[in-house]
Structure formats: structure tokens, C-alpha cells
Structure 1
Amino acid sequence: MSPEAIGFALLLVGVVLLVAKLIRVRWKLAQRLFLPSSIIGGGLALLLGPDVFGRIASALGTDRFVEAGLWGGGVLEVWSALPGLLISLVFAGLFLGRPIPNLREVGRLAGPQIMLGFVFGSGQYVVGLLLALLVLGPVFGLPPLTGALIEIGFEGGHGTAAGLSGTFAQAGFPQGEDLALGMATVGLLTGIIAGIILINWGVRSGRTAELSASAQPSVTERMGVVERENRTAAATLTVHPSSIEPLALHFGLLAIAVIIGQLLLWGLQALEAAFWSDTIELFEFVPLFPLAMIGGIMMQLVIDRVDRLQVVDRQMVERIQGFSLDALIISALGTLSLEVLAANLVPFLLLALVGIVYCIAVFLFLAPRMLPDYWFERGIGDLGQSLGVTATGLILMRIADPELRTPAYPAFGYKQLVFEPFFGGGLVTAAAIPLILQFGPVPMLVAMAVLLAVSLLAGLLYFGRRGDPARAADAQG
């Protein structure tokens, strides 16, 4: 493939994203649902691809668009490779530019939030693996790996699902990527829709501490535009552009973190090949992005010691992450195979339904009893993340606590420092498929069930009892 073709495919990502933003500004339903432009753009890319536009064109008498839709085969080939590359950048920056807090501070504020997060994450594996063992395998002939799709799609999202494409292929289950991407789309939409419905219910029933029935997002907020009087800098200029472009500096730091992750992965694979690959292979199936996250943590530990001038700007890192994630979602959804979803529609719907019911039940019945205060504002963020990744949780928390007066945001942020390395695309998510492949689904099910039980006991019997009993009773009733 020529460099011009690769460059054109990358430029098309930007065009699709811009068109999607214009659609978001004009489309009232998208505004009410707070749909990200990247999801709209990914849907547009999918509609113009071979499974929709190509089939329509074929039915009208031309086979020109059957292979690649309106985009062309070269564009789809580039797009199919982008998610696995970009997800490493996203995860490399999770901890870059923010000080690593001490464990005591994290535990004090985020302890109950961490336990609730583990209930969401481990429980998704428990219900998913049980469904795979009892129904999906015996009835539909699907492999036990399908039991991991709920957590990969819901907690991990489009980036994680696409980033695991190589792992699915090596495991002999290539259709798992498309099923996980479909799960991520369903989870994201459900997270936003169900979250907004629950927030309205919480306001009417008096369960929200800060939001009143009269508080409504402004027109510009629904359009996704920041009002002029509220606009702030998207990042801070920490180095002079005459020496190096600040964006280039931060991209270089992320690149080093990814390279560290790649070296770690190669080292672990070499150790495995030298000592135990004859009996078990795990790291051969582990993708790069969780190791890139560890590379980012190692970079930040060094930065904490040597960056006396504080040239690393967290906002700049987030801008690079945000762009990478937008491009990732568009390219991943644009190359999604609808044929795979259609061929496995009933199992797919069963997985999605079980996952959705579980997450909403945890929020309604366990969050009030596990979170010592402001359970609704704190729990709605975890519900959003458990269905539709971190961004959905942040959106719902912003709606439920627009003035940021509750401890929901700092508790959620600290929780991420402990939760993200394992679930939602972390080490557990990345290792789930290799572990199931090597040891079978039952050991994974037992391990997740134990973690679920421990998290429940700690949340209900320790953290949940630290709050005001009268307030907790009011919140539950």
C-alpha cells in the first residue's frame, strides 16, 4: 500500500469526525442522548461501508461497492489496523502527567468506590461465563471465550475490543472482535440512555443530593459547544514552541511509554518461551496496551522525581488521548462486520441483556448500601463506566452533579488509579482470553466469583456502614 493511500485514509478519519460533529449540532436526538461525535462518525462510516452501502448498491445493480463500500479497500485496510495502534497511546497516557497518590489517601476516599467498581467488573465475568457455560456453549455452540465479551465490550469499550483483535484471532475466535465491538456500542448507548432515565428518576424521587428538577443542560451543552464565557485553554503551554512544539513533546513522552510497554512485552514473551511455553502460553496472547499503561506509570514515577519545572501538562496528554480515542472509535466501527452480528444475533442479545440487567441491578440495590455518602452521584458514574467506558461515567456524573459539589469526581478519579490497571482494558481484561484458553472457563469463573464475594463483603459490611445510617435509609427508601 502506498504512503499516499495511508495518508488519505487518515485524512478521511478527520473528515468523518467533522461531519459527525455537524450532525451532533443539528440532530436533536443525539443532543438529548449526549452521543459523542466519534460514535456518530463511526456509525456513519459503518453505513457507508460494504455491509450497508455496498449491499444497497449491489441490490440496485452495481457491484462496484461490494468489497469496501464507498471507502475503498485501501481505506478499510488502514482503518482496521488503527485501533490496535491507537489504544496503546490512550492507555500509555492514563497516569502520565498526574502525581501518583499514596495508598492511604486513595483508600480513604475511594475505598468504597473501588469495591463497587470490582463488583461491576468481576460480576460481568461471572454472569457472562455462567451464560456461556450454561446456554451459549450447549445451545449455540459458541466457545467459552464469549463469557468475557461483556466486560471487554462494556467496561473496556470500543478501544479495548478493537485492541484485542489479534488476541481473538490467535485464540481461533476472530468473530469475537466484532461481537465485542457490537457489545461496546450497545453498552455505550444503554449507559447514556439508562443513565439519563435514572437521573430523572433520582431527581423526582429525591435521591439526588445536588440536582433539582429545575436544573437542565443548556442548549449549547446539548450541542456539545462550550459557551464563550466558560471557555478555557484546552492545554497549557509549558515549553516555548521555538524549542519544541508542546504537542510534539508530549507525543514523544507517550511514545517512550509505549516503547517501554513493548520492551516489557517482548521480555515477558522471551521468558515464557525460555521457561514454560511448552506447558502454558499466556503472554503470546497478551496485547500491547496494558503493558503501555505500565510504561506510562514508570514514566510518571521518573517524571515525579526529575520534572522540577513541571513541563508535563496533563491537559495536553488528555488532548492526545482524546484525539486517539476518537480516531480509534471511527476506524473500529467503520470496519465492524455486521454479518458476524447477524450470524450470532440471539447469543449477542442474550449477552447484552444479561450484562445490562446486572449493571443496573448493582446500581439500584448495591450502590446505596456500599457507598457511605452521595451514593447516587457516585454510583451513577460507576454505572456509566460499567456500561459504556469512563467517558460515559463522567458525562452522567456531570449531569447529576453539575457544580461538582459532591465527592463523586475525586472518588471516581482515585478509584481509576486502582481499577484501571486491572479492569476496563487493564491486565485482567487483557489476560482473560489467554487464561480461559489455557485453563478453561471454570478457574476464571471461580477467581472472579471470589473477587466478587470479597468486594461485596468489604463494601457492605465495612465501607457501607461508615456513612450516616439515617441518610442511607433515606437514600434507599
Structure 2
Amino acid sequence: MIAALLFVTFLLLVGVALRIRFGIFQWLYIPASVIAGMLGLAIIQLAPATAGGTAKAIAGTLSDWPNLLIAVVFAGMLLERKPTEHRENASNVGREALMVWIIVLGQTAFGLLATWIFIQPFYDLPNSFGMLIETGFAGGHGTAAAMGEVFAHESIALAGGRDLGILMATVGLVYGVVSGIGWINLGARRGWFPTNRADHLANETLQLDSVTPEPTSPPPRVPIGYATIRGETLDPLLLQTLWLMTAFGIGMAMQQAVLMAAAAADGWFASDTLRDAANQQLSTRLSFSRILDFPLFIYTLFGGLIVRRCTRLLGCEDRIDSDSIGRLSSAAMDVLVVAAIASLNLAAVATMIVPFSILAIVGAIWTGVCLLVISRWVLPRDHWFELGLINYGMSTGVTATGFVLLRLVDPDLDTDAAENYALAAPLSAPFIGGGMLTIGLPLLVLERVPLGMTSLVAVTTVIVLIVVGRRWQSTS
């Protein structure tokens, strides 16, 4: 444990140093955590025989971290709540929400379709394999870690599911930035955003081409949070950590309570009359214990909501500092990314590199179609490209990538793209791209319904949503 912690500390410090020193990482906007994770993976894989045992032990320890760290991240999601004060045209916000559903459901639909037509005839893989595009591209590293537990469920039994999801998220992150800059250059030449901002893009590109290490003059310092309690009572940051850990603890308690109740219910409804082995297996798989065996992060999500509501009832909600909770969650996410990438099981990934590549190519094609074609049909006409870029970044890695791309074409946020995206997020984020439908679809549907039927229904749904969006725009 201590060795793994020191190893991650070393990797992150080196990752930060490399990002500051080498302009290519800044130009590609690759986070230090991803650099650190890739470095850790290389060290573990290339470790000499004399240190092989230590490297394997560290990798084994790190492989357990993502499941706990993603639970911490989810614990902070509903605990960190900020009221939205923006006002925007409801039609624009609605069409942006619809566009996100089209993109993410399309990743699932075409992933399932590709699995059904091109992958399963040659590879013995579960239906849920088709979820990898949404898991890695739209979900990112956090969702990949969470879905690793889902893929490992005995009803799915996708060996290496977490490793494949992490790899897909890494591929999507790098691809999203590189291809996004390419699409921006195409947009500048095609006049998809105002000429004055295209001129800015040319200057920005020139600066990026000659990027140098970050300036020696320190940037303005801003606080990461605010004290909600006197220092002599308790360290303010420790108090925010306690709120987060309380949400985590409530989630663990909820999980245990649900599993105990499910076991008791199974005992009440158990029957000794089932002598046939097949019927016994069916009864076991339909038991409450199996159905309610959800990952810990689902429970810690509601743990954060419970802490927030309880502090409100007790009149001490102002003791929770959302900024500090957000920074703690982000820190957990950075460590999660390092641990997840460094502990990748390359042997498990290598055996499925061909079907994995098929899904990655399908995902890349679909996200490009969404940006260049469907966004023009659905999103507001005056800033469809700017808003489409945010969605493009979100759908190939993280929302931060989308805002990096937006900055290149709209540096002063002259359009309403950022506000549209922010206001529409609550209409999609809880459900897709790592939300409830992402988690529930493999567990409750995909392994119970024929894949051909599921994929055709999903593709039809996406087509219907596109038609609705196009008509919506024409009437706006």
C-alpha cells in the first residue's frame, strides 16, 4: 500500500514536470494524470525480472483503487451542488439536451450494432461489449472504472472490461483533441464561425506551434475553497473531507443494508421443491441478492444527497463548501486515472484488440458525423459549430476538452454555447454517458434480450430523435 502510494506520488510529480517542460503535451491538452498513468504502465510492463515481483505487487494494489476512488467521486457529485442562475432560451437548451442524447445513445446503438454484425460472428463476447464506446468516449476514465464493476458482474462476465474501458477512454481523450483541432481548421476555411474569430484561431495556432514551457512569472493565485469553520475548531479542509467521507460511509452502509435485506427476502421466498438444476440456476439468477447487487458508487451517489439534505434540515448547509468538495473529488479522479492506466492488463486487452479497434473506429466516425452533420440539423443555427465542439469534446473524453476546443473559436464566449451546454446538462448527465441508463442497460437488458433486437431498437430510437431535432429546428 505504501509502495503503491509513493509510486503514484512519483508518477504525478513527473507527469506535471513533463507537461510543463514539453510543449507537445500542452498543445494536445493531455492532463498530467494521463501522462503519469502511461509512464506508470510503461515502468510496470518493462520492469526487469529482479523487480518484477515488486512491479506486479504494485500493479495488483493499484488495480483495486479505481473501484474505491470512483465511489469517492460519486459521493461528491450530489454533495457538491451549486444553484444555477443563468437564464436562456428554452428551445435552445432543449435542442442541446436532445443533441447530447443523440450523440451518446448513438454511441451505444452503433456499438451494439457493430458488435452484433462484425464482432460476435467471430468472437465469443457478451452483448454488453458494445457499450465500450459510450463507456470510454462519452463516459471517460471515471465511467470506465465504474463500468469495470458492471462488466465483471457474473451475468456479463466480460474479462478485462475495466481495462478495455480505460483504454477506450484514453484513446478517446487523445483522439478528441487532435481531431477537434483538425475540424476547427476545416471550420475556419468553410466559414462555420465568424471571420474575426478565424483570424484569432490562426494566431492561436501559431502560438501553439511554438509553445514554450509555462512562463516563470506565477499566475494569479485563487483559492480552491473557502473556510466554513474557524481554524481553531477544526481545519476547514478536513471538515470538507469529513463531509465527503460521511457520504462515502453512508453509501457503504446502504449497500450492506440492501444486500442483507435481499438475502433475507431470498430466504423467505426460497423453495426446496426445485430439483431441476436448470430451474435452480434460474431461481438463483433471479434472486433479490443478484438483482440488487449494484456497485458501491451507486450507493455513495445517494450518500452525498443524504448528507446535503441532512445538513439543510439541521440548518448547517453553509458548512459545506462546494468548491472544496469539487477539488477533493477532482484529486480523487486524478489518482484514479493514474491507478487505472498504470494497472492496465495489456494481456487481456491484446486478446481483444481487433474487436476493440472496430468499436473505436465506429465511435470516431459517429462523433464526426454528429459534429459535422447532425449538429447543423439540430442545434441553434447561429452557434451550432461552437456548441457542437463542446459536445464533441464531451463525447470523446471529457467536457473540459470541449471547452478547450470552444476557446479556440470563441475565446471571449461571445456566443451562448457554454450557457446552453451548462443548462442542458441536467437533462442528460444523470441518465447517459455514465448515468443510470449506462449502468442499468447491461445489467438489466442487454444480456436478457437478443442483441439484434436491442441494437435495431436503439438505432431506430436515434433516428427518431434526429428527425425530431431537425423538425424542432425548422420550427424555431
Which interval holds the TM-score relative to the shorter structure? 0.7 to 0.9
Structure having the higher Rg:
2
Partner amino acid, structure 2, of 1:199: I
Describe how 1:360-375 pairs up with structure 2 within 5 A: 360-372=368-380, 373-375=382-384
Distance (Å, rounded) in 2 between the aligned partners of 1:86 and 1:243: 28
CA RMSD of aligned residues (A): 3.1
2:62, 2:340 within 8 Å by CA — same for their partners in 1?
yes
State the 1:339 CA deviation: 1.7
1:31, 1:222 within 8 Å by CA — same for their partners in 2?
no
1:352 is matched with which residue: 348, 360, 381? 360
The question of 1:182 aligning with 2:167 is answered yes
> Residues 420, 288 of structure 1: CA spacing in aligned structure 2 closer, same or farther, 3 A cutoff?
farther
The question of 1:417 aligning with 2:426 is answered yes
The question of 1:401 aligning with 2:384 is answered no
Distance (Å, rounded) in 2 between the aligned partners of 1:226 and 1:37: 19
State the 1:280 CA deviation: 3.2
State the 1:447 CA deviation: 5.5
Which is further off, 6-15 or 257-266?
Answer: 257-266
Superposed CA offset, 1:91-146 (max 9, x none): 22234333455999795553112111111111111101111111111022322221
The question of 1:143 aligning with 2:152 is answered no
Describe how 1:369-388 pairs up with structure 2 within 5 A: 369-372=377-380, 373-388=382-397
State the 1:249 CA deviation: 1.8
The question of 1:323 aligning with 2:323 is answered no
Which is further off, 123-132 or 201-210?
Answer: 201-210
2:311, 2:317 within 8 Å by CA — same for their partners in 1?
no
Which residue does 2:280 correspond to in 1?
none
Distance (Å, rounded) in 2 between the aligned partners of 1:122 and 1:173: 21
Which is further off, 240-249 or 304-313?
Answer: 304-313
Superposed CA offset, 1:293-345 (max 9, x none): 33334444555665567332222122112111110010000010222222222
Partner amino acid, structure 2, of 1:183: M
Describe how 1:216-295 pairs up with structure 2 within 5 A: 216=204, 228=218, 230-266=220-256, 268-269=258-259, 274=265, 278=284, 280=286, 283-295=291-303
Q: SS of 2:318's equivalent? A: coil
Which is further off, 379-388 or 312-321?
Answer: 312-321
The question of 1:119 aligning with 2:63 is answered no
> Residues 136, 102 of structure 1: CA spacing in aligned structure 2 closer, same or farther, 3 A cutoff?
farther
1:154, 1:188 within 8 Å by CA — same for their partners in 2?
yes
2:455 is matched with which residue: 432, 438, 445? 445
The question of 1:27 aligning with 2:55 is answered no
Distance (Å, rounded) in 2 between the aligned partners of 1:168 and 1:333: 17
Unaligned runs of at least 5 residues, structure 1? 1-5, 58-62, 468-477
State the 1:13 CA deviation: 1.3
TM, length-normalised to structure 2 = 0.84
Distance (Å, rounded) in 2 between the aligned partners of 1:226 and 1:280: 62
2:63, 2:340 within 8 Å by CA — same for their partners in 1?
yes
TM, length-normalised to structure 1 = 0.84
Partner amino acid, structure 2, of 1:397: L
Which residue does 1:75 correspond to in 2?
58
Superposed CA offset, 1:77-101 (max 9, x none): 2211111111122222234333455
Which residue does 2:37 correspond to in 1?
42
Describe how 1:196-207 pairs up with structure 2 within 5 A: 196-207=181-192
> Residues 404, 325 of structure 1: CA spacing in aligned structure 2 closer, same or farther, 3 A cutoff?
same
Q: SS of 1:212's equivalent? A: helix
Superposed CA offset, 1:163-193 (max 9, x none): 3333323332222222212111111111111
Partner amino acid, structure 2, of 1:130: L
Partner amino acid, structure 1, of 2:469: G
Distance (Å, rounded) in 2 between the aligned partners of 1:188 and 1:384: 8
2:88, 2:420 within 8 Å by CA — same for their partners in 1?
no
State the 1:351 CA deviation: 0.7
State the 1:248 CA deviation: 1.8
2:199 is matched with which residue: 213, 220, 226? 213
> Residues 453, 104 of structure 1: CA spacing in aligned structure 2 closer, same or farther, 3 A cutoff?
farther
Which is further off, 206-215 or 126-135?
Answer: 206-215
Distance (Å, rounded) in 1 between the aligned partners of 2:87 and 2:262: 35
Partner amino acid, structure 1, of 2:179: A
State the 1:384 CA deviation: 0.8
Which residue does 2:278 correspond to in 1?
none
Distance (Å, rounded) in 2 between the aligned partners of 1:168 and 1:459: 33
Q: SS of 2:344's equivalent? A: coil
Distance (Å, rounded) in 1 between the aligned partners of 2:68 and 2:89: 31
Unaligned runs of at least 5 residues, structure 2? 270-282
Q: SS of 1:310's equivalent? A: helix
The question of 1:460 aligning with 2:460 is answered no
